[in-house]
């Protein structure tokens, strides 16, 4: 059993004809990771906005924006349904653009970033999960559409 399922689980995980739930199966792992990143980005930016806003206002605001995006995707995944799927898809795309854009920006012009954001250097400080997560999310949400 384990041999066959290792490769085919991703394909069988989205059963046909079921009411679109986005937070079960592999989606459960996504919900968890998005939840963790919501908490991490939100608490980080809250602390930084309150305690040291003057140090690097722009990166801290960007962190807060990423926290909102993460929070919205988490909520959409838990809620499920077609509308939430589309909204989450758009947000995952936005997230990917954000990671790539800010990641490039931090490398090209480090002086604009006195302090790091969650998305600095493509999320290197977070084991590159910020750049892996939206790609996984987009794949999962695309797959769920056909379910």
Partner 1 sequence: MIDALTIAVAVTALALAAWCGFATYRDEPTKDWHFIGMAVVSLLGVVQLIVAVVQLARGRSPDQGTAIFVAYLIGAAACIPATGFMSLSERTRWGSATVTAGAVVLAVLEVRLFDIWGGGSA
Contact residues toward partner 1 (CB under 8 A) are 1-2, 5-6, 9, 13, 24-29, 31-33, 35-36, 39-40, 43, 47, 51, 127
Rounded CA separation 130/133 (Å)? 5
42 contact partners, CB below 8 Å, separation of at least 6: 64, 67, 70, 71
CB of 64 to partner 1, least distance (A): 16
Of the pair 7, 111, the CB lying nearest partner 1 is at: 7
DSSP code for 17: T
Rounded CA separation 17/87 (Å)? 21
Of the pair 13, 100, the CB lying nearest partner 1 is at: 13
CB of 33 to partner 1, least distance (A): 6
CB of 31 to partner 1, least distance (A): 8
Of the pair 28, 142, the CB lying nearest partner 1 is at: 28
CB of 5 to partner 1, least distance (A): 4
Q: Alpha-carbon torsion 4, 10, 16, 22, what sign?
A: positive
Could you tell me which of 83, 52, 73, 67 has the C-alpha nearest to residue 126? 67
Of the pair 26, 103, the CB lying nearest partner 1 is at: 26
């Amino acid at each position: 059993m384990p041999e066959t399922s290792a490769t085919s689980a991703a394909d069988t995980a989205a059963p046909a004809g079921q009411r679109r739930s986005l937070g079960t199966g592999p989606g459960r792992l996504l919900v968890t990771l998005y939840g963790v990143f919501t908490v991490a980005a939100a608490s980080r930016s809250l602390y930084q906005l309150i305690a040291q806003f003057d140090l690097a206002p722009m990166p801290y605001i960007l962190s807060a924006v990423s926290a909102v995006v993460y929070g919205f995707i988490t909520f959409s995944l838990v809620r499920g349904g077609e509308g939430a799927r589309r909204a989450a898809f758009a947000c995952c795309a936005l997230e990917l653009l954000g990671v790539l854009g800010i990641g490039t920006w931090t490398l090209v012009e480090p002086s604009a970033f006195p302090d790091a954001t969650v998305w600095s250097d493509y999320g290197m400080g977070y084991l590159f999960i910020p750049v892996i997560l939206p790609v996984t999310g987009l794949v999962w949400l695309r797959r769920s559409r056909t379910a």
